[in-house]
A and B are shown apart, each in its own frame.
Chain A
Amino acid sequence: MDFSIFGYQFMQNAILSAFLGGIACATIGVFVVLMHMPFIGVAMSHAAFAGALLGIWLGFNPLVGAIALSLAAAAIIGPLADRGELTPDTSLGVIFSLMLGLAFLFMGLMPGTKSLALELLWGSILTNTRSDVILLGIVAAVVVGLVFAFYKEIQATIFHRDMARSVGIPATLILYGVLFLTGATITASLRSIGGLLIFSLILNPAAAAYQLTYSMKKMFLLAAAFGVLSGWIGLLFSYLFNIPSGAMIVVTSSVIFLIAAVFSPKRKVKGWQKKPLLEGQ
């Protein structure tokens, strides 16, 4: 196998993007999994995609459009989620379908070639520039830094929002912070992974980590490791077999989840749960 490819700038950018994007997406994924809001992430990633397409259509920076529309979706979803009025099959279904509809509407309205739009749809980590890597690096540092700084507030909010509020923790602020970080992470990863696939890289590594540990700190670390592994292994297979990188990264993350689910210690019955109900039984 010829590994001289790794000496090229574009491949180094891709490897760094997979590392930084994997950490940022997987860290956000821990919130998505533990706060039981996978539909929120799906709706926001489609909002970011629609916003980026709006930018391409109207001729401004797609990243600005992506962050603006994903934050607008967060502004609608946030109050619903905070009040506990959110049912995934109604409000989120409407927002998700609206965002998908807008995305394809903007794509349809675009004059000329749609190659840039399709790149955002499927992702193209191999074309990432140094500035894409820097943006991903900033987002990953902010996400990890905030989790480290506000770990205890985040932990309490994840456990039970009302209970966190009742001990004086600003749980609403934490929830909105999580939604904002989700929007920023999706926006920064859009070019690498693609609007349709990004959510899998958010959900799968965290869902895999969730199968393997009863410690939240370990879950954050495992999720980040799985996110990076998904990116690197996906990239390698994409290079070896000449297949789309974004799709391969997502497939890898799904395989990691399946392996974790099969070998999950949480599926096994613990000793204390096997004790007979009555002595002598």
Chain B
Amino acid sequence: MIKIENAVVSYRENVALRGVSLEVNVGEFVGIVGPNGAGKTTLLTVVNGLGRLLSGRVWVLGHYLTAGNGHSLRKKVGYVPQVHNIDPRMPMSVREVVMIGRYGLLGLLSRPGRHDWEIVDEALELVGMSHLAQRPIGHLSGGEQQRVAIARCLAQEPELFLLDEPTASLDWKAQSDILELVKRIHDSRHITTLFVTHDLSALPVACDRVVLMKEGLIWGEGSPSELLTDENLSRLYDMPISEVRRRRREETLVNGGEF
């Protein structure tokens, strides 16, 4: 499904990926974990063809990724970015934003038909947002906007699902709802999924495999039970595990308190 060989990506003077190799099988759910600046988001952009490789090779959905075919491959790859600020006055409804997921598939000069709107309504139903379908997109909370982003990806009918910190900056309840939703989608549709997070408490239990990243390199990969040991985590985050746990507990208390 995905094969990355020795990928090197640089943003001006910063090297984001330093020769990363990774393989992901069809239907697998892979969690990518690491501190900020580890290269996790860049790894996702390499997979959907938006990241520019300095060197290395990438195969996605059975195709060797080049500058020319990234555009057509992206139509089959659903991408949920980190929460971003949406203009509260943006003149678009939730339903219209979900329809954007169909636009790439429809191609230039064609209009969405009844079938496309049915798919959009199904996606909204699945993420529990049907009742807000006509609401202006900018009027939703962060958690609701992420549900809409997931619905947009579902409307795209993707073969590959990339989620970039979809729960970052959300409160505890919204985080848990999104994680539950992602797990439900993977269980029911078996879409190959890459889930990026810096926060271990936001790692879905559905993960078949975990990839740890640090400083632009893959630092370890394996099953969650093998890899997420106290020793590995304290080395990954450069602090004693007791401190990692204390901070995670505090964060849970704070977020829980907000809720």
Distance, CA A34 to CA B103, complexed state (A): 19
Distance, CA A266 to CA B103, complexed state (A): 28
Residue of A nearest to B96 (CB): A155
Distance in Å: Cβ of A52 to nearest Cβ of chain B:
34
CB of B106 within 8 A of CB of A152, answer: yes
CB of A167 within 8 A of CB of B101, answer: yes
CB of A216 within 8 A of CB of B71, answer: no
Distance, CA A218 to CA B137, complexed state (A): 16
Q: A167 with B74: in contact, given A149-B109, A210-B91, A213-B91 (CB under 8 Å)?
A: yes
Q: Which residues of the other chain, B, contact A270 by a CB distance below 8 angstroms?
A: 139
Other-chain contact of A167, B87, B90, B139, B156 (Cβ < 8 Å):
B156
Q: Mark B81-102, 1 if CB is under 8 A from A, else 0.
A: 1001001011111001100110
Distance, CA A213 to CA B97, complexed state (A): 16
Q: A214 with B50: in contact, given A152-B106, A166-B79, A168-B72 (CB under 8 Å)?
A: no
Other-chain contact of B103, A160, A169, A218, A219 (Cβ < 8 Å):
A169
Interface size class of A (residues with CB under 8 A): 20 to 34
Q: Which residues of the other chain, B, contact A272 by a CB distance below 8 angstroms?
A: 139
Distance in Å: Cβ of B27 to nearest Cβ of chain A:
22
Q: Which residues of the other chain, A, contact B87 by a CB distance below 8 angstroms?
A: 34, 36
Distance in Å: Cβ of B178 to nearest Cβ of chain A:
17
8 Å CB interface, A186-224 against B: 210, 213-216, 218-219
CB of A216 within 8 A of CB of B92, answer: yes
Q: For the complex, is B136 an interface residue (Cβ under 8 Å from A)? A: yes
Q: Which residues of the other chain, A, contact B77 by a CB distance below 8 angstroms?
A: 166
Other-chain contact of A156, B74, B90, B100, B139 (Cβ < 8 Å):
B100
Distance in Å: Cβ of B257 to nearest Cβ of chain A:
15
8 Å CB interface, B28-62 against A: 48, 50
8 Å CB interface, B102-151 against A: 103-106, 108-109, 111-112, 136-137, 139
Q: Mark A165-197, 1 if CB is under 8 A from B, else 0.
A: 111111000000000000000000000000000
Other-chain contact of A159, B50, B90, B105, B111 (Cβ < 8 Å):
B90
CB of A167 within 8 A of CB of B91, answer: no
Distance, CA A106 to CA B139, complexed state (A): 49
CB of B136 within 8 A of CB of A214, answer: yes
Q: Which residues of the other chain, B, contact A34 by a CB distance below 8 angstroms?
A: 87, 90-91
CB of A166 within 8 A of CB of B81, answer: yes
CB of A164 within 8 A of CB of B100, answer: yes
CB of B103 within 8 A of CB of A153, answer: yes
Distance, CA A90 to CA B48, complexed state (A): 32
Q: Enumerate 19 A-B pairs (CB-CB under 8 Å) in ascending A order.
A: A153-B103, A155-B96, A159-B100, A163-B79, A163-B81, A164-B103, A166-B77, A166-B81, A167-B74, A167-B75, A167-B152, A168-B72, A168-B103, A168-B104, A170-B71, A214-B89, A214-B136, A216-B91, A272-B139
If A167-B100, A210-B89, A214-B93 are given as contacts, then 8 extra A-B residue pairs at C-beta distance below 8 Å, sorted by A number, are: A34-B90, A153-B103, A156-B103, A165-B74, A166-B48, A167-B74, A168-B74, A213-B91
Chain A residues with CB under 8 Å of chain B are: 34, 36, 149-150, 152-153, 155-156, 159-160, 162-170, 210, 213-216, 218-219, 266, 270, 272-273
The 10 closest A-B pairs by CB, nearest first: A168-B104, A168-B75, A167-B104, A166-B79, A214-B136, A168-B74, A216-B91, A156-B100, A214-B91, A152-B103
